[in-house]
Structure 1
Amino acid sequence: MDNNYKEVSKTLWIILFANFLVAIVKILVGNIVMSASLIADGFHSFADGSSNIAGLIGIKFASKPTDKEHPYGYEKFELLSSLFISGMLFFISGNIVMDAFKKLFNPTELNISSYSIIAIILTLIINIIVASLEYKKGKKLNSNILISDSMHTKSDIFVSLGVLFTLISISLGLPNIIDPIASFIVAGFIIKAAIEIFISSSRVLVDKKALDTRKVRKVLDEYLEIKGVHNIRSRSTGKKIFLDLHMLLAPDMTIKTSHDLIHKIEEDMKENIDDKIQIIAHFEPYYKDKK
């Protein structure tokens, strides 16, 4: 496992323990005060921790070196883990909605105390720290799993704010019906996070265009040796971007010159577009009088 994946794995372990701590506190306090929204929020936090486990498994596979059967590597396993997280969130949100419906037609008297409100505030602070750390690490390490999971944790912050508002509102005398309504809102945040994770991961898995073709052409236009370019295609594995294209060059250009040219172009694109680019070029002879 290279240093990049080691850092991702280390971050996931730290956040795993933080998420489980937050989840346990919320579920325990939620059962004490009989709050459906707080219990739902606790399971949301528990899902954050479970997603970290899925991420650790994905990273274990994604960090494997290339081999004969997988010449492009195993990096997309990280994206598969993100899709697993997305599916798990859809399942959990469904359970929360069902429980909220039960509470809606069979409301339960809540036993709200200052301790429950303090517990929510403390877990909210932890969530803010966790989401911020995970997102920054994800950007620094270019880790799809960390960025996806931080989106999930970030939604937990808004969910916790909603639950906190619910508990305070009920303690001030508002009806208990607010509790299951808040659970529906919790489920909505979870579904939103699941959809965002699914879309961002599936784009890479189905080889969606990874680069803006106009930016590629802008770099190539600076090279007088290139007489034309077509069939520009790009895709990503999450960690690398593969760009392949057809280039028209002078028919008498030597193999060494064309080889040096493509390496120069690759370095130029890494500097001006993305440092993860790897170019595969197909050279074609250019004839001035050819139509």
Structure 2
Amino acid sequence: MDYSLRSIGVRKVILITLGFNLLVGLTKIIYGMIVNSVAIMSDGIHTLFDGFNNIMGLVGIYYASRTPDEKHPYGYRKFETVLTIFIGLMMFFTAYTIFHRAFESFISNQPSTAGLEAFLVMLVTLSVNFFVSAYERKKGLELNSEFLVADAGYTRSDVYVTLGVIAGLILARLGFSKADPIVGMIVGFIVAWMGVTIFRNTIAILVDESVLDSHDIMERVCAIDGVESCHKIRSRGPEGNVFIDLHVQVDPLISVNDGHEIANVVKKDLKTKISGVVDVVVHIEPVTKPEDKP
């Protein structure tokens, strides 16, 4: 997909998600303060930070959408990957904030005044969060955007968190006075775990972890006319922006021009038949036949 078109698509999704996150987050926080529910306020803070992530996403995508140049021959796409780490950091900070508020509520033993209307508010925001998460993830996969997929995961954690808050409110109404802050603490652990997951996936991209099956590539390349064998196959990059390097062995008696043509065929085959491959570097070398060995 063209860099500019992809950037426009990603920015559009972020803006839509931002609007919903701000609306839902502020609604939860204001209502949580009114009814003195730390779980609802914590859930709202979590959602509001997701909106802040969206704003940072707009800035990061602007840089990530730049086309490759002399200084950045592999492009700027990893700006988006670095931005995804920021989401993980924000999740850790959010988890700390939620846990801290929940602990204070647990110590102070202030009862929540949340009633039936609290359930209605949480059910409505739960529905919105579910829609936003599903929409953002769907678009993230379509646009091969690790930021959108990670941010969708953050929003999806909102769904789990809200379900926990509803459970806490039910338990509180049944007489379990400590249920609300305890659920708030559980919320903090859930958000922290989501942050760990994002970090793990993002670090894999930054350290150039192999992303394609080398055996599959070898079988595909060796089926091409003129290729005797291939080895030293490497692949790296996020989905939709994959780079492949490999060594291809050919008959030592063919001309340089023929070897170059084989390399072009290999490049074209891998780029057109494997989704997300943007560049292939082929090193041509002569195959050593048994009779040629000393």
Aligned to 1:76: 78
Write the letter of the residue equivalent to 2:64: A
Matched, 1:286 2:287: yes
Q: Provide the rounded CA distance (Å) in 1 between the counterparts of 2:292 and 2:156.
A: 58
2:137 equivalent in structure 1 = 135
Bigger mean CA deviation after superposition, 130-139 or 236-245: 236-245
| Secondary structure, counterpart of 1:274 in structure 2 | coil
- Tell me the residue number matched to 1:35: 37
Q: What are the Cα deviations for residues 58-79 of structure 1, in whole angstroms up to 9, with x where unaligned?
A: 1011011222111111110001
- Alpha-carbon deviations, 1:238-274, whole Å to 9, x = none? 5421111111111232333333323322333345433
1:194 aligns with 2:230: no
CA contact (8 A) 1:269 1:277 kept: no
2-structure distance, mates of 1:111, 1:275: 53
Q: Please give the alpha-carbon distance, in whole angstroms, between the structure 2 residues aligned to 1:198 and 1:37.
A: 26
With over 3 angstroms needed to count, the CA separation of the structure-2 counterparts of 1:66 and 1:271, relative to structure 1, is closer
In the TM superposition, what are the counterparts of 1:138-149 in structure 2 within 5 Å?
Answer: 138-149=140-151
Q: Is the 8 A contact 2:39 2:181 kept in 1?
A: yes
**Does the alignment pair 1:274 with 2:275?**
yes
Structure 1 portions without partners, runs of 5+: none
Say whether the 8 Å CA contact 1:243–1:279 is kept in structure 2.
yes
Match 1:64 to one of 66, 69, 77: 66
Paired letter, 2:92: F
SS of the aligned residue for 1:220 comes to helix
Helix, strand or coil: the match of 2:48? helix
Q: Which residue of 2 aligns with 1:259?
A: 260
Output aligned runs, 1:131-170, within 5 Å.
131-170=133-172
Q: What is the percentage of aligned positions where both structures have the same residue?
A: 33
Aligned match of 2:21: 19
1:102 Cα deviation (Å)?
Answer: 1.4
For this pair of structures, how many residues does the alignment match? 290
Secondary structure in 1 aligned to 2:150?
helix
Q: Does the aligned pair in 2 maintain the 1:96–1:184 contact within 8 Å?
A: yes
Offset, 1:135: 0.5
User: What is residue 8 of structure 2 aligned with on the other side?
Assistant: 6
CA distances 1:139-162 after superposition (whole Å, capped 9, x unpaired): 100011100101111111011011
CA shift for structure 1 position 111: 0.8
**Secondary structure of the corresponding residue to residue 192 of structure 1:** helix
Note the residue ranges of structure 2 that are not aligned, 5 or more in a row: none
Q: Which amino acid aligns with 1:16?
A: L
Distance in 2 between residues matched to 1:16 and 1:93, nearest whole Å: 20
- Structure 2 CA distance for aligned equivalents of residues 33 and 260 of structure 1: 72
**TM-score (normalizing by structure 2):** 0.93
CA RMSD of aligned residues (A): 1.6
